[in-house]
Amino acid sequence: MTTKQLLQVATAVIINPDSPEEFLLAKRPLDRHLGGQWEFAGGKIEEGEDPEHAIVRELKEEFDIEVEVINKVCQHVYHYPEVSLDLHTFRVKIVSGDIKLLEHDAAVWVSKNEVETYLLASSNHEILQHI
Ligand SMILES: Nc1nc2c([nH]c(=O)n2[C@@H]2O[C@H](COP(=O)(O)OP(=O)(O)OP(=O)(O)O)[C@@H](O)[C@H]2O)c(=O)[nH]1
């Protein structure tokens, strides 16, 4: 029997600087895993990398913004048939830069009760319970 790898992923609840009850959802490119679905931005944690460091690095790569971690929102495991994920989620605030879409097809600021109008990756539903 083979054991499926548990992929370590860091994700961010980015607070809207102009409206603190809103946070950012980003749309994954169509040619990627979960293409076209909306996510909390982030990505894979590198070998030996601290999850908080990973989220700061990913948000610089994806949006060209500098962020500061406010706190940890949650950590949970989610199993897709093709991959199992260990998702580490952090609430962050932008300290400098304006969001540039370097890797996503779109991004929107939403409040919690607006999220249901977007096709959110099912792995992310747990995160909503903690926001
Ligand atoms: N970034 C991100 N990935 C998520 C979320 N939810 C979720 O299931 N994933 C999955 O976590 C995995 C890693 O995310 P990713 O593809 O963004 O990672 P990455 O930027 O490091 O990718 P790359 O190194 O292939 O360019 C993917 O399989 C992705 O579908 C989420 O909210 N944000």
Look over the chain and give the mean of its residue pLDDT values, rounded to a whole number: 95
Count of other CB atoms within 10 angstroms of residue 70: 12
Q: Which residues pair with 24 in a beta bridge?
A: 109
Q: Which atom of ligand 1 is nearest to the CA of 80?
A: 8
3-state secondary structure of 79: strand
> Would you kindly state where each structural domain of the chain is located, as residue ranges?
6-128
- HSE-up (13 A, CA, CB side) for residue 106: 11
pLDDT tens, residue by residue, 98-113: 999 999 999 999 999 9
Q: What residue owns the CA closest to ligand 1's atom 29?
A: 33
Residue appearing with tokens 């370097």: 102
For ligand 1, is residue 9 a contact (CB within 6 Å)? yes
- Give the model's pLDDT for residue 2: 56
- Model-level pTM? 0.94
User: What is the best residue among 14, 30, 44 to mutate for testing ligand 1's pocket, by most ligand atoms within 8 Å of CB?
Assistant: 44
pLDDT tens, residue by residue, 1-57: 556 689 999 999 999 999 999 999 999 999 999 999 999 999 999 999 999 999 999
- Give the model's pLDDT for residue 5: 84
Q: Which residues pair with 68 in a beta bridge?
A: 93
Q: Sign (positive/negative) of CA torsion 48, 54, 60, 62?
A: positive
For ligand 1, is residue 37 a contact (CB within 6 Å)? no
- Give the model's pLDDT for residue 25: 98
HEC per residue, 59-125 = HHHHHCCEEEEEEEEEEEEEECCCCEEEEEEEEEEEEECCCCCCCCCEEEEECHHHHHHCCECHHHH
- Give the model's pLDDT for residue 38: 97
CATH H superfamily, domain 6-128: Nucleoside Triphosphate Pyrophosphohydrolase (3.90.79.10)
In angstroms, how far is the first alpha carbon of the chain from the final one? 38
